[in-house]
A and B are shown apart, each in its own frame.
Chain A
């Protein structure tokens, strides 16, 4: 809401600077977005009169002029062709400034000196929309004689200081000059000059001209009309046009301008009809018929339906209630008798109608917040008062007012102590009452109750009263306290949160950096991932109003997003990246969704560069170790279409699936523009949380020496080291301490299809020094087992 300060001053004394006023209003709840000083960037631009025009001796397209600017006559060289001697024009003098940081200085054009510039409407930062008489390309010729040397800002009415307020949705009453003036008065502790309307009503009885019937009082609780005859349509006076422009509204003609002026001043949208277009001289407020159409003021044909309220005459709709008037009854140059409408419409209905028609207007934006039906009368009276003031018509006697049911004002208890307890303040009763009275609440000091004014629909209960008091007491005067004397609570994280933190720490310690990616994605990713058509992952939740197809489903897998991140980095020629993300995937129980999905937290790993599968596996193993998870298995996974069939493993903990790690299938890597060797892991956080064990018990350090034996064996290529280790563990007996793989070799001296595998095996007993015999026996059993089970040959 843009409020010119001089307009506010009609209703309140503003005794501080615009900046101080803006700050004070912000701190009492009417947030100021900005202070606009109109024409701030225009200086030293004055009215001039062209005395002579001569052709430039050396340039066909230039003219040399002499211009009287009041104090002197100056020479200006111009390229403009639309000027003639005697024209009054805006002149930017030497040293002047224009919008867009333009400065005018003395110049020489083709050898002839020029002491200023004549301005077009655009050069003054105005638009030809406001000045339809301005030529498309040329100097603006002032429409009438003006005092020479007069500041052009005065000529254009560019001297308003305008405060732009951000009004919250609960305060439609503040979308008006009067509402803001009321707030300003309480804020500045000055007087609110409540308007008093004085009408002459010199015409005959309005009821002779028009009758009103409201058929749906639910959607239209109040409809008021007034008639004005002998109307002289023309431009409204300059002061009114200036104020409208300063408030951001384009002036049209005096009657339309009055409706807009009253809307801005009172916050009540209004409309004016040409009475000769109202068939049967009767206004009917009804729901639209199915299939009905109306051409609105913006010249669009609209289809309306029975959910919408229309203003109609006996035959047809002449306006969409609360949204826009109809073209069929608009004010025209020859209009002579008009009907003003000020009405109260159901906010929700207006909102839905405007939404359905795709036309949110200034009026609908106000109605949808819920306006005060009481305000209708004051607003329509103000409109006709302005008609009388401007002398542009004769106001007929009587207000035609269909007011179905006046709302009883709300009564709320005022418990001073309770409010102070709630705010943590010690505000005296008198101060509370003072604030409320200034806000036009009626306070019954005997019963300590307040009656809420009709324009404050937002005030429903004591907490709202507390806010009113706190706003003007000053939020920042409330003493800061720290829940002293309240029950102590223990701040802590849950087991799940602790484990999640540990996972994150471990990833960082393993050299992975944390990524954040979007949780919605494109349905196209499933094909790019090579997923079969019946894959469960394809069953994703669809967003009904997405930002676009790329963001239209909730992800069921994080792999495409991690691949996207890798691709971004790889395409920026970054050699290596190691990343992780902890986020959710959204698994519907059924589709279409009728209960909330399972939001499954997953840990996603992604890496490429100078690294391989074992770097990724190392991260998983480090994580299990950190979380105290011992019983895990990492076994080959050949059947996941996203991954390389020979370089992928699934993870399980105590037999429960815990994730997958591996190299991305080259087809997938290619589609996502990732390097061929891209490694991805997805680990189920819920399983980690369930299996993690933070129990830690100390084991005594060994007292007796260990014995280490190295063995190397030849086995078939397809034998996996895990099989060898299983045999060793199984056969070595209790004295086995650890086994360590130290060499795997294929090539020279090892026949085709075989590999050499070498281990260090360490034995130790906790109660004695092992003998050669102890160790020998164990080794024999191990070798025996390896030979029998795996066909291993000792080297």
Chain B
């Protein structure tokens, strides 16, 4: 019996070393260790052994079983590894094929610019105010220190509905509406659509967008205006951006300024984009005119404020290097998808 067991062990080892698949391996397991297997059959014959032999053979049989089982496990893990390897090889895909994209839409470049500006100013403690586009003459002109027959009215080429109602030419009327309804401290920006009777071309549109800013409080200085605009310019155009204020005239601010930023393309050295100036004009600003404060019932001896406004189209065109304003309103999807 001893021989029998040893030969089973050898035979099993022999067979196991030639095994190629998990199925063959399973067959071997059944052949030796199964209920009707060879080892089982030998063990069944143990009853016929003498009591002295029994423990010896029993021990041997257990050893043989353990040895076969051990080998079986080894071979099995080798085979599994091999088979998984083969499977992985077969499962190779072309990862350079296109992904299944959920095609996201895109925000309009004007929205991108306006939203960025909103974020910058919300971060500085501003609220967002809105106002009507079809506006009363009073808010668009009168209250902003542009009385009837003021030459500035001609410059702005206004669309009129009737004598009293017009399409706002600027977002500044929102300043008045805000000051009428809120006591200082006031810190708002007012983005919005404005209208001027300019024929459509590469740099003009009868409809465009402005973002207006207004701050009114005790002790607001022109230095605060400069600081605010500088921070804003750096946030929007990059840390290295500088600003420059040039005296100008707006009826509703005094002192008034036009504000240039250092060219975003050349950084101020002079290039095609800035027409070799190094500077690009982006906004108008100034200290709120005392007459405007008075009209809104705010005492200019106690309060002061500043206001500024910029054109979103020009900013977006500069930012994204868009050379024709008409593209912004044409809405070719191939254009819109670029932003």
Contact = CB atoms under 8 A, between A and B. Distances in A.
Interface of A: 26-29, 31, 168-171, 347-348, 351-352, 368-369, 421-425, 458, 461-464, 466-467, 470-471, 475-476, 478-483, 485-494, 497, 504, 507-520, 541-547, 551, 554, 565, 568-569, 572, 574, 577-580, 584, 586, 592-593, 596-597, 599
A493 B128 contact: yes
A514 B332 contact: no
B224 A516 contact: no
Interface residues of B, number: 81
A731 B253 CA distance: 69
A488 B125 contact: yes
Nearest to A577: B333
B93 interface: no
19 contacts: A26-B246, A27-B246, A169-B151, A463-B287, A466-B255, A467-B247, A480-B223, A481-B226, A483-B224, A483-B228, A485-B219, A487-B217, A489-B126, A491-B127, A514-B105, A568-B332, A569-B332, A578-B105, A579-B336
Contacts of A586: 133-134
B257 A171 contact: no
B162 A544 contact: yes
Nearest to A459: B254
Nearest to A580: B105
Given A421-B219, A542-B161, A599 B151 contact: no
Contacts of A544: 159-162
Contacts of B336: 513-515, 579
B193 interface: yes
B223 A169 contact: no
B125 A481 contact: no
Contacts of A510: 105
Interface in B89-133: 102-108, 110-111, 118, 121-128, 132-133
A486 B331 contact: no
B304 interface: yes
B330 interface: yes
Lowest 3 CB-CB distances: which A-B pairs, in order?
A: A424-B223, A424-B221, A29-B247
B227 interface: yes
A555 to B, nearest CB: 11
Nearest to A491: B122
Given A519-B207, A544-B160, A568-B332, 20 more contacts: A168-B249, A348-B149, A351-B151, A467-B255, A467-B256, A470-B247, A475-B257, A476-B245, A483-B227, A486-B220, A487-B217, A489-B185, A491-B127, A493-B128, A510-B105, A513-B337, A517-B331, A554-B167, A593-B134, A597-B134
B9 interface: no
B221 A423 contact: yes
Of B124, B246, B328, chain A has the most CB atoms within 10 Å of the CB of: B246
A511 B104 contact: yes
Contact of A491 (B107, B123, B215, B257): B123
B86 interface: no
A507 B105 contact: yes
B134 A569 contact: no
Contact of B246 (A29, A369, A424): A29
A580 B106 CA distance: 10
B162 A593 contact: yes
Given A348-B149, A482-B224, A487 B246 contact: no
A323 to B, nearest CB: 15
Contacts of B161: 541-544, 593
B198 to A, nearest CB: 8
Given A483-B220, A492-B122, A475 B159 contact: no
A300 B124 CA distance: 60
B71 interface: no
Contacts of B332: 568-569, 572, 574
A545 B217 contact: no
A554 to B, nearest CB: 7
A31 to B, nearest CB: 7
B329 A486 contact: no
A509 B224 CA distance: 40
B105 A464 contact: no
A497 B130 CA distance: 10
Contacts of A493: 118, 122, 127-128
B221 A422 contact: yes
Nearest to B248: A168
Q: Chain B contact residues: over half helix, strand or loop, or mixed?
A: mixed
A596 B221 contact: no
A480 B226 contact: yes
Nearest to A496: B130
Given A514-B105, A514-B108, A574-B334, A368 B151 contact: yes
Given A493-B122, A514-B105, A578-B105, A31 B248 contact: yes
Contacts of B328: 516
B262 to A, nearest CB: 12
A510 to B, nearest CB: 7
A579 B333 contact: yes
A785 B338 CA distance: 54
A471 B247 contact: yes
Interface string B34-70: 0000000000000000000000000000000000000
Nearest to B293: A463
A571 B215 CA distance: 48
A551 B328 CA distance: 17
Contact of B125 (A458, A489, A593): A489
Given A517-B331, A568-B330, A478 B222 contact: yes
A586 B110 CA distance: 22
B10 interface: no
B221 A489 contact: no
Given A368-B151, A463-B290, A574-B334, A512 B105 contact: yes
B178 interface: no
A423 B126 contact: no
Contact of B151 (A369, A508, A509, A597): A369
B245 to A, nearest CB: 4
B157 to A, nearest CB: 9
B127 A492 contact: yes
A482 B227 contact: yes
Nearest to A425: B223
Interface in B303-339: 304, 328-334, 336-337
A84 B287 CA distance: 68
Nearest to B290: A463
B241 interface: no
Of B155, B199, B289, B331, chain A has the most CB atoms within 10 Å of the CB of: B331
B103 A511 contact: yes
A403 B122 CA distance: 57
B122 A486 contact: no
B41 to A, nearest CB: 47
A565 B331 contact: yes
Of A29, A463, A578, chain B has the most CB atoms within 10 Å of the CB of: A463
B32 to A, nearest CB: 44
Contact of B222 (A422, A489, A492, A504): A422
Contacts of B165: 593, 596
Contacts of A568: 330-332
Given A489-B187, A543-B167, A508 B106 contact: yes
B152 interface: yes
A504 B104 contact: no
A146 B303 CA distance: 69
Interface in B289-305: 289-290, 300, 304
A520 B205 CA distance: 12
A476 B244 CA distance: 6
B136 interface: yes
Nearest to B107: A514
Of A425, A483, A488, A510, chain B has the most CB atoms within 10 Å of the CB of: A483
A587 to B, nearest CB: 10
B304 to A, nearest CB: 6
A487 to B, nearest CB: 4
Contacts of A168: 248-249
Nearest to B189: A491
Contact of B121 (A368, A369, A491, A569): A491
